[in-house]
């Protein structure tokens, strides 16, 4: 009796030398993944840098000159692009570079290089505001050509001979206190603004800088933009009120007399 021999079972393929080749696709996958992550991060940084440079910037509030509209250590966003196309209005809250002599010298203490580098990186994407101490934030009261006077018999500021009721947002010592403790009578020159703090008796604003080279006026070229949002702390998150209605009846300024 003959029996058929069963075919020998196929042996498993012998692994080739250099087994690392078998896991090469996985390594290549991680390389591609890491490359994509780096590209995404770089794109995000570039976009954030462009947004910060041309659209929106972040600042923190170092003083109480705008209380109770803005409090110390509030963090705000500033719109840089809208005012460039639409201009500014009376009542706008603006951030601007020191025109010269408004801020006292404030030499920064030396810090470790790693801290400086970290803040620089965060500033690129708008998460840090290292130059806040070199800027000021105030409310626009007078536009170019406006005749701004303080105060009338009711203690109100007048703009182009029209009194404005600022009681909804200014902080004064008492209900019968004038809108400014110091009188002034100015005509805002072309290309400049007259600005005051909402904490009217504790703000070193245009009124207190008339002895500086700019005579208390803020050049439009110094204005970074218009603050529009409080982002921190979270319990104060919200849009800022410009109170444009307060100035709604103020007429456009008359042409200035060149001989004045």
Radius of gyration of the chain (CA): 31
Burial class of residue 198, CB neighbours in 10 A (0-12, 13-18, 19+): buried
Pairwise CA distance, residues 221 & 225, whole Å: 10
Burial class of residue 194, CB neighbours in 10 A (0-12, 13-18, 19+): buried
> Which one from 52, 132, 138, 180 is the annotated catalytic residue?
138
The rounded Cα 13 to chain-centroid distance in angstroms is 67
DSSP secondary structure code for residue 201 in this structure: T
> Which one from 58, 65, 132, 203 is the annotated catalytic residue?
65
Helices (H), the chain: 24-54, 82-86, 113-124
Instruction: State whether residue 29 is helix, strand or coil.
Output: helix
Pairwise CA distance, residues 132 & 97, whole Å: 9
Pairwise CA distance, residues 200 & 218, whole Å: 18
Per the CB < 8 A criterion, the answer to whether 164 and 157 are in contact is: yes
Pairwise CA distance, residues 223 & 192, whole Å: 10
Angle at Cα 81 formed by Cα 78 and Cα 85, nearest 5°? 135
**65 is known as an active-site residue:** yes
Residues forming the active site: 65, 138
């Amino acid at each position: 009796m003959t029996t058929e021999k069963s075919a020998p079972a196929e042996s498993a393929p012998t692994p080739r030398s250099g087994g690392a080749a078998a896991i090469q696709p996985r390594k290549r996958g991680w390389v591609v993944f890491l490359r994509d992550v780096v590209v995404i991060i770089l794109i995000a940084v570039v976009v954030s840098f462009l947004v910060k440079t041309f659209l929106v910037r972040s600042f923190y509030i170092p003083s109480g000159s705008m209380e109770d509209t803005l409090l110390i250590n509030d963090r705000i966003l500033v719109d840089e692009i809208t005012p460039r196309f639409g201009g500014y209005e009376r009542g706008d809250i603006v951030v601007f570079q020191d025109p010269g002599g408004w801020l006292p010298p404030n030499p920064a203490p030396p810090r470790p290089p790693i801290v400086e580098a970290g803040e620089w990186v965060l500033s690129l994407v708008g998460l840090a505001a290292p130059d806040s101490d070199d800027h000021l934030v105030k409310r626009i009261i007078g536009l170019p050509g406006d005749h701004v006077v303080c105060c009338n018999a009711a203690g109100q500021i007048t703009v182009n001979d029209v009194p404005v009721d600022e009681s909804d947002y200014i902080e004064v010592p008492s209900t019968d206190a004038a809108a400014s403790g110091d009188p002034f009578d100015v005509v805002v020159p072309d290309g400049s603004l007259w600005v005051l703090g909402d904490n009217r008796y504790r703000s070193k604003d245009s009124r207190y800088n008339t002895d500086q080279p700019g005579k208390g006026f803020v050049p439009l070229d110094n204005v970074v933009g218009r603050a529009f949002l409080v982002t921190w702390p979270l319990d104060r998150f919200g849009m800022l009120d410009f109170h444009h209605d307060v100035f709604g009846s103020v007429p456009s300024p008359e042409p200035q007399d060149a001989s004045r």
